Structure 1
Amino acid sequence: MTHHLTRDQARRIAVRAQLLDADRPGDVVEVAEQLGYIKIDPTATIAPCEHTVLWSRIGWSYEPGQLRKAVESDRLLFEFDGAFRPVSLLPLMLPAMRRWPRRESTRQWLDANAKFQADVLARLRAEGPLLASEIPDTAQVSRPPDGWSGSNQVPTMLDCLLRQGRVAIVGREGRHKRWDLAERVYPADLAVFDDEEAARLLDERRLQAAGLAKQRSPWTPTGQAGEPAVVEGSSWKYRVDPDALDALEEGGDAGGRVAFLNPYDGMLFDRPRLEQLFEFSYVLEQFKPKPQRVYGFFAHPILMGDRFVGMLDAEVDREREVLQVRAVHEFLPFEPEEQEMVQAEIAELGEWLGVRVAGERWAGK
């Protein structure tokens, strides 16, 4: 059976799946379990991505220490490939991790550095957890710097061993990762899945986080998870999460609210879906020359209910303890009630950051 959805229904499913409706989640782990990952990025015009993602879902009660506790003390989340992920996903990821790498050049580099691998693992076994800077570089074959990593081969080797499931990140000191053997970090009693079942269950988790995704989308790959759907006004074939459908039919939609989304928020990742469902063509202006920017270096999209209504261009000045609001760009003029809602969310953002708000200005599209 193919489900026929209105565009409004499709948007509500997507917003609810990303925990951006009025019914807020209770804690960090609940957010990670639903979204599948919490992106890590140091750009902090307002706050680092991992913290703004959680604040935009949980609200004023979220404190950064809660994330650290979930990762480093409770071990309910783990860091992998630039994101914090729930441990429930780890057994589904392990089959692919055991097959890594697929690229022949990486295999050759690892084979040529067999002794280096052994040195790194032995050092961690004897002295871990360690920072990369505390592990000697004994590489037999070096990779040239690629713009992301320097000449030291230790971070590259650690990343390879992480992707193979042999080492793990136990925490951070600032932005520096602390490493240990995976056997001492990951749970020992993880369920075991074969490649096919693990891939199927991962597809289901990705669809759970999206709610609705284009079939065979390279942005949100969900395979045959869920059920087929079409959306009015779109020629795309979709897959929809049946649990999201049930919630919609049972009236489980608690309504909308205002949310400021970090530019690296997962809600914004699938740009084609944003255009199809939300009629929102989002461009991150971080890497544009200043004269070409329309909304600002790291402006945060403003979601109101199930529509994107504007962009917040703001930056925290820690020395002055101020959230400097350069502009609130309105795609269409706000109604008085909408303006009040946005202003209230800005005030809550300032309170969460522990700073006062200054310089608020409104700007048309």
Structure 2
Amino acid sequence: MHHLTKDQARRIAVGAQLLDAFRPGDVVEVAEQLGAIKIDPTATIAPAEQTILWSRIGSAYEGSQLTKAVDLDHNLFEYDGAFRPISLLPLMLPSMREWPKRASTRAWLEANSTFRTEVLARLRGEGPLLATDIPDTAEVTVPPDGWYGSNQVVHMLDLLQRQGEVAVARREGRHRLWDLAERVYPQNLPEYELDEAERLRNERRLQAFGIAKQRSPWTPVGEAGESAVVEGMRQKYRVHPDALATLKQDDGGRVAFLSPYDGMLFDRPRLKELFEFEYVLEQFKPKPQRRYGYFSHPILMGDRFVGMLEAEVNRDRDTLTVEAVHEFLPFEAEEYEMVRAEIDNLAEWLGVGIRAW
């Protein structure tokens, strides 16, 4: 049983997410450690997948590096709204073959068995295809909601992706081209039984987060890693051995601006308990109810969240407009200079000037 202070737990979490002073070298290294790089088009500053990589790699990162890793080298693949390392695919396939568990999803697929067959046949004969290239012949429809429109092809493709039948072959801009998974995924991958694959996935999940509650629906890690308790916390944690080793390093930390869809922010209870940070994405709030702005980026300084960056790129004017830097507590002079320097780095990476607050 490891006994950790809150400071140590935070440092473990920050290091595991590659947000300490030791920057990774490339896109694949980031993906292998994090397990998933979220894809989202909201680009007040840059799309999530680009900001997530820049916040780790820094000014050496260019968007073409991600394209190369996905489309040319095939070191990453797209699944369920994120780019993932190909090394994870063998661990995901056993559970994909068992999906879906929910009765309503199974019923929809069964009611649309002819539609399913037609989609697969169209891809086999003509793929890769956009969803709009495939006729919607669904017998039973799902009403439009916040994620899906009325076109049932998109819904069917997403479900077939979860079953391992189809996959995203590549993108044209923000649009996905779909094909049969057997033509997209590598062949001769290692085979795992379901239980073993889940155990290994738990280990990879804990690797990405460093430390997680033993019983957490946000970050399920099972019995991966080693037992730990954190001062002031009643719940038991699991900690990754490699993350413990980083406690011997005193790197001083750095400033990082995090996309609202950054994996570091995913486990909201952990954020509150370890970092005393109650993060709320205000994107979907009415404007009068927003405190920090439509798509503000949390500011991490060392192992603490110190504020929110409210900024937006204007490509017509080639400027990064900084509306505000919301300080949770007033910055000291050195802290202000660190944040300002990172804003300068962000503008340089974006290739724009700065219109300061």
4+ residue segments displaced more than 6 Å: none
Does the 8 Å CA contact 1:213/1:222 hold for their aligned counterparts?
yes
Describe the superposition over 1:273-309 as per-residue Cα deviations: whole angstroms up to 9, x where unpaired. Answer: 1111111111111122222222111111111111111
Which residue of structure 1 lines up, in the alignment, with residue 284 of structure 2? Answer: 287
Which residue of structure 2 lines up, in the alignment, with residue 349 of structure 1? Answer: 346
Q: Which moved more, 1:139-148 or 1:154-163?
A: 139-148
1:74-153 to 2 correspondences below 5 Å: 74-153=73-152
Residues 137, 90 of structure 1: alpha-carbon distance in 2 compared, 3 angstrom cutoff: same
Describe the superposition over 1:137-160 as per-residue Cα deviations: whole angstroms up to 9, x where unpaired. Answer: 222333332342222221111111
Q: Distance in 1 between matches of 2:300 and 2:105?
A: 42
2:332 to 318, 335, 345: 335
Does the 8 Å CA contact 1:211/1:244 hold for their aligned counterparts?
yes
2:318 to 307, 321, 328: 321
Q: What secondary structure, in the 3-state scheme, does the structure 1 residue paired with 2:326 have?
A: strand
Give the alignment's TM-score, normalised by structure 1. 0.95
Residues 253, 17 of structure 1: alpha-carbon distance in 2 compared, 3 angstrom cutoff: farther
Q: Distance in 1 between matches of 2:146 and 2:322?
A: 33
Which residue of structure 2 lines up, in the alignment, with residue 363 of structure 1? Answer: none
Which residue of structure 2 lines up, in the alignment, with residue 264 of structure 1? Answer: 261
What is the identity, as a one-letter code, of the residue corresponding to 2:84? R
Q: Percent identity?
A: 73
Does the 8 Å CA contact 2:15/2:246 hold for their aligned counterparts?
no
Does the 8 Å CA contact 1:71/1:170 hold for their aligned counterparts?
no
What is the identity, as a one-letter code, of the residue corresponding to 1:26? G
Number of residue-to-residue matches in the alignment: 357
1:79-228 to 2 correspondences below 5 Å: 79-228=78-227
Q: Distance in 1 between matches of 2:194 and 2:271?
A: 31
Q: Distance in 1 between matches of 2:193 and 2:137?
A: 36
Describe the superposition over 1:144-187 as per-residue Cα deviations: whole angstroms up to 9, x where unpaired. Answer: 32342222221111111111101100111122110111111101
Q: Distance in 1 between matches of 2:197 and 2:284?
A: 37
User: How far off its partner does 1:253 sit?
Assistant: 4.5
Which residue of structure 1 lines up, in the alignment, with residue 50 of structure 2? Answer: 51
What is the identity, as a one-letter code, of the residue corresponding to 2:289? Q
Which residue of structure 1 lines up, in the alignment, with residue 6 of structure 2? Answer: 7
Q: Distance in 1 between matches of 2:250 and 2:98?
A: 41
Give the alignment's TM-score, normalised by structure 2. 0.97
Q: Which moved more, 1:73-82 or 1:279-288?
A: 279-288
C-alpha RMSD of the superposition: 1.2
Q: What secondary structure, in the 3-state scheme, does the structure 2 residue paired with 1:332 have?
A: coil
Describe the superposition over 1:300-344 as per-residue Cα deviations: whole angstroms up to 9, x where unpaired. Answer: 111111111111110111111110001111112212111111111
Q: Distance in 1 between matches of 2:214 and 2:249?
A: 25
What is the identity, as a one-letter code, of the residue corresponding to 2:277? F
Describe the superposition over 1:20-42 as per-residue Cα deviations: whole angstroms up to 9, x where unpaired. Answer: 00000011111111011001111
User: How far off its partner does 1:6 sit?
Assistant: 1.2
> Are 1:20 and 2:19 matched, yes or no?
yes
What is the identity, as a one-letter code, of the residue corresponding to 1:276? E
Residues 232, 147 of structure 1: alpha-carbon distance in 2 compared, 3 angstrom cutoff: closer
Does the 8 Å CA contact 1:16/1:253 hold for their aligned counterparts?
no
Does the 8 Å CA contact 1:158/1:167 hold for their aligned counterparts?
yes
Which residue of structure 1 lines up, in the alignment, with residue 72 of structure 2? Answer: 73
Which residue of structure 1 lines up, in the alignment, with residue 38 of structure 2? Answer: 39
Q: Distance in 2 between matches of 1:120 and 1:167?
A: 10
Q: Structure 2 unaligned runs (5+)?
A: none
What is the identity, as a one-letter code, of the residue corresponding to 1:335? E
Which residue of structure 2 lines up, in the alignment, with residue 247 of structure 1? Answer: 246
